[in-house]
Structure 1
Amino acid sequence: MTAEQPVPDVRTPRAPLGSSPQHLLATLLGEYLDSADADLPSAAVIAMLREFGVTEPSARAALSRLVKRGLIATRGDTRPPVYHLTPTAIARHRSRMRHFLTFGAQPPPWTGDWVLVSYSIPSAGQAARHVVRRALAGLGFVGLYDSVWIRPGVDAAPVRAELAALLHPVVGARWSVLHARFDEEAGPHGPAAAYDLAGLAAGYAAFVARFAPLRAAARRGTVDPATALVARTSAMDFWRRFADTDPDLPAHLLPQPWPRGQARETFLDVHSRLGALARSRLIEVTAPHWPDAARWITHFDAPGDPDRPGPAGGPRRTC
């Protein structure tokens, strides 16, 4: 995986868009706010989420949960409450947005190195086995065989620490973390066979098919601001799943033709062309509750410098 992780972790919700108001709110805050100085009234958040069919009670619950997760904080003790992004959350947002907007732009440098994990857990440790598998998947590993997991790269420190924390208390558990190279890397028994590359390719093709009409409408200039806000957020939500789950394998391990490039072009076209429209809609719906909305609401953009995407409009970046 190539996600950047240079900042302290914030437990950002990861539920699918539409089923989790807190995930939706985290997405919107990451896309359209970039300063800890902005005072965000709760009424503005409620208006923002109403655009996506989220009710007021659900919006308030989402706010409360994001406060508990450290993504936002209350400003003083006013009633109704006023919120702001935390500096840690802003740093996290910027790093994540760079990852989403640059993912797939350049082929990764390839050395042929893999991190391999092998473990043995007694039959009585079924619960621990499930937890270990989930943790490995969260670290970007995939099962090569039953208890052998791999991921490209050389950084073994995170998985080594995770396995020690999870398995040290389990009586009889054993595990090893190794650096490996495959003699027949591109063969049918090589590491690529562990991935569902056909499923990933189908996902990219489905993304292109789903958003091609929106891309065409955006190019014609026929998308209204309300539609732009919802559609752009949906495109980002789908794309971020690819950026977080695609192992970014080198070309010689991928089936050809590989559809990620077309999907990336589709995403960036939609995301960039609808950015200003989506921002204007957010300002329109929040301004009655937040007079400073136009000052603080921004939107991330990639085309100016694909390697250094950043906010367009709104305030200068501060923490």
Structure 2
Amino acid sequence: MASPFDIDEIYPDDGDQPLRLPRRQVGNSPQGVAVTLLADYTLRTRVALPSAAIVALLGETGVTTAGARTAISRLARRGVLEGSRLGRRSSYRLSRAAAANLSAGGQWILASTTSTARWDGCWTIVAFSLPQDRSTQRRALRAQLRWLGYAPLYDGLWISPQELTSAARAELDRLTLGAVTVFRGRQSALASAIHRAPIEAWDIEAIGRSYDGFLRRWTPLLPGVRSGQIDGAAAVRARTEVMDTFRRFPVLDPQLPVELLPRDWLRRPARELFAAVYDGLAAPAERHVRAVVERFADAAQPGIAAHTTADLVAGVRADVDPAQPSASGSATGCS
């Protein structure tokens, strides 16, 4: 089985929707890194940053100048960024729709890995049947189901331990045009020893190995984080990478019931380690981003501010819409 981190879509492909966030792929995707950088330091204010500063920050992560400029241009075309120009200087900021999406996504990532609610023993089952000539629609539906925390128990039958939310119901209606049926109920175990339990829709061992790999990768960094030895570009790179890695876990392990998991499940240790690294590097990373931006701006940018995991749980909102030059083109339970 391929690594669970090979899941292509963390954000669903919205097809013809006006906002299309980049795919979250294994490794560094220039578009994904650009979105993470802007979200981590400008999500609340949506302040515009000089394009040269964004290119410089991406360059510190290994993205070439050409690759950075291409990523910015594509994000603008996809409605993720808004472009503006003052004289010969172009700047970009997160669009309002992208900021709202990223805020909700950040809140979901943290809530999904900290929930302590007891499971009611029920499963939500989504059954669908789409003709072979609707393969694009079928792929979009599967990507959306994965994003919602579902996994395939059988072909055309996906399950989740969570209730179907109103937002999820609306997405399924949009993608299936009625070719779907949803149930919620308890498993009726068979006497046969070869029946498949719902939890087997997830590869529990593979998810456990992913948690273990995360802990092995980031635990050695903690002393440097706590002592303040990691700063500058290194702090920004580490903070971006730890977010891009941890954000995958709610899709791999979507609040699976602890009653059905191994006793030493590593969800909580991984969540605590993520918070220690992400929050611990917030201040030095923010200072570095400010310093890079100031090299390409006429004045300091007060809208640059790193948020913490507590901010994400509370919901980071684009509360302030600073004045910008006008854009000249976008560069219930069961019984």
Q: TM-score range by the shorter chain?
A: 0.7 to 0.9
CA distance in 2 between partners of 1:286 and 1:17 (Å):
28
Say whether 1:182 aligns with 2:191. no
5+ residue gaps, structure 2: 1-9, 11-16, 322-335
* Counterpart contact for 2:147–2:251, Cα < 8 Å: no
Q: Provide closer, same or farther for how the CA distance between residues 253 and 9 of structure 1 changes in structure 2, counting only shifts above 3 A.
A: farther
* Counterpart contact for 1:35–1:85, Cα < 8 Å: no
> In the alignment, what sits opposite 2:229?
222
Deviations 1:108-135 (A, max 9, x none): 3533333212344567777765555444
Q: CA offset at residue 89 of structure 1?
A: 2.2
> In the alignment, what sits opposite 2:93?
84
CA distance in 1 between partners of 2:33 and 2:131 (Å):
41
CA distance in 2 between partners of 1:239 and 1:309 (Å):
18
Alignment length (residue pairs): 301
CA distance in 2 between partners of 1:92 and 1:127 (Å):
23
> In the alignment, what sits opposite 2:314?
308
Q: CA offset at residue 225 of structure 1?
A: 2.1
1:1-319 residue pairs with structure 2 within 5 A? Answer: 10-16=19-25, 18-35=27-44, 38-76=47-85, 78-120=87-129, 132-155=141-164, 157-158=169-170, 160-162=172-174, 164-165=176-177, 175-184=180-189, 189-302=196-309, 307-308=313-314, 317-319=319-321
Q: CA offset at residue 23 of structure 1?
A: 0.8
Q: CA offset at residue 209 of structure 1?
A: 0.5
TM-score by length of 2: 0.78
Q: CA offset at residue 295 of structure 1?
A: 1.2
Structure 1 window deviating more from structure 2 (200-209 vs 151-160): it is: 151-160
Q: CA offset at residue 58 of structure 1?
A: 1.3
Other structure's SS at 2:181 match: strand
CA distance in 2 between partners of 1:163 and 1:108 (Å):
30
> In the alignment, what sits opposite 1:171?
none
Deviations 1:1-28 (A, max 9, x none): xx9xxxx984211233644211110011
Other structure's SS at 1:75 match: strand
Other structure's SS at 2:307 match: strand
Other structure's SS at 2:184 match: strand
Q: Provide closer, same or farther for how the CA distance between residues 162 and 180 of structure 1 changes in structure 2, counting only shifts above 3 A.
A: farther
Once superposed, what is the RMSD of the aligned Cα atoms?
Answer: 3.2
Other structure's SS at 1:82 match: strand
CA distance in 2 between partners of 1:51 and 1:193 (Å):
42
Larger RCO, structure (CA 8 Å, separation 6 or more): 2
Q: Provide closer, same or farther for how the CA distance between residues 292 and 86 of structure 1 changes in structure 2, counting only shifts above 3 A.
A: farther
> In the alignment, what sits opposite 2:3?
none
Task: Tell me which stretches of 4 or more aligned residues in structure 1 moved more than 6 Å.
Answer: 123-128
CA distance in 2 between partners of 1:181 and 1:159 (Å):
24
* Counterpart contact for 2:124–2:182, Cα < 8 Å: yes
